[in-house]
Amino acid sequence: MTDLKTSLSEAVGAAFAAEGVDKALARVTASDRPDLADFQSNGALAAAKALKANPRELAAKVAERLSNDPRLSSVEVAGPGFINMKLSNAALAQRAAEVAADVELAGASRVEPRKVVIDYGGPNVAKPMHVGHLRSAIIGESLKRLFRLRGDDVVGDAHFGDWGFQMGLLITACGDEGLADAFMAEGDGPFPAETPVTLADLDRLYPLAAGKAKEDPAFRDRARKATAELQGGRPGYRALWRHFVAVSREALKREYDDLSVDFDLWNGESDADPLMDEMIADLKTKGLLVEDDGAQVVHVARDGETRKKKLADGSVIEAPSPPPLLVISSEGSAMYGTTDLATILDRKKSIGPDLILYVVDERQAEHFEQVFRAAYLAGYAPEKSLEHLGFGTMNGADGKPFKTRAGGVLKLRDLIDQATEKARERLHEAKLGDDLPAEEFEDIAHKVAIAALKFSDLSNNRTTSYVFDLDRFMSFEGKTGPYLLYQAVRVKSLLRKAAEQGVALAPIVIEEAAERDLALTLDAFDAATADAYDKRSPNLIAEHAYRLAQSFSKFYAACPILVAPDAATKGSRLALAAATLHQLETALRLLGIETPERM
C-alpha cells in the first residue's frame, strides 16, 4: 500500500515529465490551506524558471493532465503557479479502509533490511542512574523500535561502563574497608560465589573513593595498580569485579524496566578488552599509530583541516581539527577512545553491522568524530556507517542542566517516583480511576507518569535542549503524554460500548469534513515514520500522534457514532475509531509508551 502523498507525487511527476519537465520537481506536500485543498505541488515555479516559461501556464498544463485522475475531485491552479489538489470522498474512504486493514503495518516497512546496532544507555557500574541518563535511554529505545518497524534487523546495546579506573577505585575501597578480604588474596581461588557487596555499598563507596583519589596520591596509585592488575587478569580481582557488575546490572535493569527500555546486549567496555592488543598491533602495522609526546595517537584530521588551539603561555596556534585520537597514554594506559575503537572492531567481528548509531550527549561530538575517523582509516567500518546522534540537555527553569533543589544531580529513580506521585495526584483531581482496584490504579499511575516523562522529551527535536516542567508535562490537556493516553482510553471505552450494543464494523464511507480530516491524518502515518526514520527524529512520531489525537477528538465531537442515524454510518465511524486506536497505540509504542485499558 502506498500513502496518498506518495501516489500523488508519482502522478504529478508523470504529468511534469509529459510536459518535458524533470519529474523530481513534482514534489507533493500537504496543503498550506487545508480549507482549499488537501495537497499541493509548487514545482511549476522552479520548473518554469529553468525552462524560461510562464509558471502559471505550465501549472495549468499539468493540472489539465491531472484532471481525469479519479482520486481527485478538483485540481486548481492558484497564485503564480501552485497546483492545488482535493481528493474525492471515495478515494479517502478507500485509503482509510487500507489503513484500517493494515493490522501488521506492512505499509510502514519500506527499507531494504540492514543489520543495525544502536548504542544507547551508557550506564556505569556502581553509579546509580541520574536524569542525565534519561534522554539517551528513551531516544535510543524509540529509535530501536522505529528502525524495527521500518524493516531493519536491530540490536540494542547498553554499552555498560564496567572497565577502567573506577573499578580499581572500588576494589581498593572494598579492600580498605574489609568488605572483600577473600578476594584480595593472590592466587587462583576459589572465591566466594555470593557477592560481598550490596548496591548500597557500591553507591556509598564509589564517590568516597573518587574523592579520596583526588586528595590522596598514595590511594590513587594503589587504585591504579588495582586497575592494571584487574585488566591483567588477577583472579581475585576479576571475581570481585564480576560481583560489582552483577549487582549493578540487576539494579539498572529494574530502572530501565520501569521506563519500558530493554537491551538485546548488555556488553560492557570489558568485552572489547580481549581485542586491545590485536587492534593496537594492527594499527601499528598499518602505520596509523604514531608517537606524540610519549603517547601513541592516530592522526584523524584531513589535509587542510585546522582549529584554533590555545597554548599554556596564552598564545594561539593553528592545530589539526579534529585533534588526534589518543590511543595509548604516555603512562602506557589504553584510553576511553581506545575502548570505543575496539568496540567497533568487536561489533564488526561478532555482529557485522551495516550501521551503528550512537545515542550520546551532543557534547561528545568531537570524541566520536575522532573515533569514527580512526575506524574508517583502519578499515573497521565502511565510510558513513557510524553515526553519532547527539542530543541536547534536560534543563531546569534556569536554563541549566536539571538539578535537585539542593543543587545535586537528581537520581533517575527519584525522578520516576516524583512523576508517579504527581500522576496519582492528577488522576485523583480528574476523578479518573477512583473506582478501580488499587493495583490497577497504581499501574495506570505508573503508565501516566512514564508517558509524561517520555512524551515531554520525545516531542522535542532530539538535538535541542528543553526545560523540565513536571506540572505542565502531567496535564491531561494540551500536547502531553497523559492527554494522548486519555484519548486512547476514550476510544477503547467507545469500542467496548459498541460491542455491548452489538454495533459492528462496516465499510468506511467519508462524507463529513471531520471524517475527511481524520482519514487524511491516518494516511500521514507512513510518511511520518519514513521521515522520522530518515532524520533519526522520534519527535516526528510524537507530532503525528498528537495530530491524530486532535483529529479524532474533532471527529468524535462532530460525528456521533453510537447514536448515528443508521447501522451503516455507525459501523463506518466505528471502523474509523478502531483504525485510529490501532495507529495511535502503534505511534505511542514507537515512543516506548504503553496505554492502559481504562482510567
Condensed to tens digits (0 to 9), the pLDDT of residues 18-60 reads 988 888 888 899 998 998 999 999 989 988 887 888 999 999 9
Least confident of 198-207, 330-339, 453-462: 330-339
Pairs from 327-332 (Cβ < 8 Å, separation ≥ 24): 327/280, 327/283, 327/289, 327/295, 327/296, 327/297, 327/298, 328/280, 328/289, 328/295, 328/296, 329/295, 330/293, 330/294, 330/295
- Spell out where 204-338 has E strands: 289-292, 295-298, 306-310, 316-320, 325-328
Alpha helices (H) along 379-469? 412-429, 438-458
| 78 has a pLDDT exceeding 90 | yes
Q: What is the pLDDT of residues 181-198, one digit of tens each?
A: 999 988 998 999 999 999
Percent of the chain residues topping a pLDDT of 90: 76
| 482 has a pLDDT exceeding 80 | yes
- Give the HSE-up count for residue 5: Cα atoms under 13 Å, Cβ half-sphere: 21
Q: Give percent helix, percent strand, percent coil of the chain, each to the nearest 5.
A: 55, 10, 35
CA dist 597 and 582 (Å) reads 13
Mean pLDDT of the 92-117 span: 87
Angstrom distances, CA of residue 153 to CA of 121, 131, 263, 372? 19, 30, 14, 22
**Helix, coil or strand: residue 484:** helix
Provide DSSP, 21-55. --GGG--EEE-S-TTT-SEEE-HHHHHHHHHT--H
Inter-axis angle of helices 412-429 and 438-458, nearest 10: 110
Inter-axis angle of helices 4-18 and 43-51, nearest 10: 20
CA angle 552, 557, 562 (to 5 degrees): 90
Non-local (6+) Cβ contacts of 536 within 8 A are 143, 357, 387, 389, 462
Which of the four pLDDT bands, split at 50, 70 and 90, describes residue 404?
Answer: low
Which of the four pLDDT bands, split at 50, 70 and 90, describes residue 590?
Answer: very high
Provide DSSP, 430-451. TT-STTS-HHHHHHHHHHHHHH
Which of the four pLDDT bands, split at 50, 70 and 90, describes residue 122?
Answer: confident
Mean pLDDT of the 133-149 span: 95
Copy the grid coordinates of residue 7.
501516489
Report the pLDDT value the prediction gives residue 322, as an integer from 0 to 100. 86
Which of the four pLDDT bands, split at 50, 70 and 90, describes residue 303?
Answer: confident
Q: What is the pLDDT of residues 253-286, one digit of tens each?
A: 999 999 999 999 999 889 998 999 999 999 999 9
H or E stretch at 387 = strand 386-388
Percent of the chain residues topping a pLDDT of 70: 97
- Domains of the chain in sequence order: 4-87 (3.30.1360.70), 165-258 (no CATH)
Least confident of 122-131, 300-309, 348-357: 300-309
CA dist 39 and 138 (Å) reads 34
Mean pLDDT of the 118-130 span: 88
Q: What is the pLDDT of residues 424-452, one digit of tens each?
A: 999 999 999 989 999 999 999 999 999 99
Report the pLDDT value the prediction gives residue 310, as an integer from 0 to 100. 67
Query: Do 422 and 447 meet the contact criterion of CB atoms below 8 Å apart?
Result: no
**Helix, coil or strand: residue 307:** strand
Report the pLDDT value the prediction gives residue 401, as an integer from 0 to 100. 78
Report yes or no on whether pTM surpasses 0.85: yes
Q: What is the DSSP letter of 477?
A: S
Q: What is the DSSP letter of 124?
A: B
Copy the grid coordinates of residue 550.
486532535
Non-local (6+) Cβ contacts of 327 within 8 A are 280, 283, 289, 295, 296, 297, 298, 334, 335, 337, 338, 341
Report the pLDDT value the prediction gives residue 24, as an integer from 0 to 100. 86
Higher pLDDT pick, 475 / 164: 475
Residue type, 463: T
